[in-house]
Amino acid sequence: MEEKTLSCVDCGTQNCKFKTRTYPEFCLTTNLSHEDSAWALARYDEDRNKEIMIASAEVEYEGYCKWTRVQEIMEFAKKIGARKIGIANCIGLINEARVFARILRANGFEPYAVICKVAGQAKSSMGIPPQCEEIGPAMCNPILQARLLNQAGTDLNVVIGLCVGHDSLFYRYSEAYVTTLVTKDRVTGNNPAAALYTAGSYYKQKFGV
> In order of start, what are the domains of the chain with their CATH numbers?
16-67 (no CATH), 82-209 (3.40.50)
Please tell me the least confidently modeled range out of 16-20, 47-51, 61-65.
16-20
Looking at residue 14, its pLDDT comes to 80
Indicate if the pLDDT at residue 13 is higher than 90: no
CB 180 within 8 A of CB 159: yes
The beta-carbon contacts of 7-12 under 8 Å, at least 24 apart in sequence, are none
- The pTM score is 0.94
Instruction: Answer whether 145's CB lies under 8 Å from 114's CB.
Output: yes
Residue type, position 134, single letter: E
Closest CA to 74 of 183, 150, 179: 179
With 70 as the cut, is the pLDDT of residue 171 above it?
yes
Give the model confidence (pLDDT) of 156-168 as tens digits: 999 999 999 999 9
Angle CA 141–193–203, to nearest 5 = 110
Cα(139)–Cα(175) distance, rounded to whole angstroms? 22
Instruction: Name the E strands within the chain.
Output: 84-89, 110-115, 156-160, 178-182
- Report the percentage of the chain scoring pLDDT > 70: 98
Whether the Cβ atoms of residue 171 and residue 145 lie closer than 8 Å to each other:
no
pLDDT at 1: 57
pLDDT of residue 23: 86
Residues 6+ apart with CB under 8 A from 18: none
Q: What is the pLDDT of residues 60-103, one digit of tens each?
A: 999 999 999 999 999 999 999 999 999 999 999 999 999 999 99
Q: What is the model's pLDDT at position 12?
A: 80
Burial class for 114, CB neighbours closer than 10 Å (0-12, 13-18, 19+): buried
Q: What is the pLDDT of residue 35?
A: 98
pLDDT, tens digit (0-9, with 9 covering 90-100), for 115-137 = 999 999 999 999 999 999 999 99
Amino acid symbol at 135: I
Look at residue 112 and give its three-state secondary structure: strand
3-state secondary structure of 86: strand
CA torsion sign for 87, 93, 94, 96 is negative
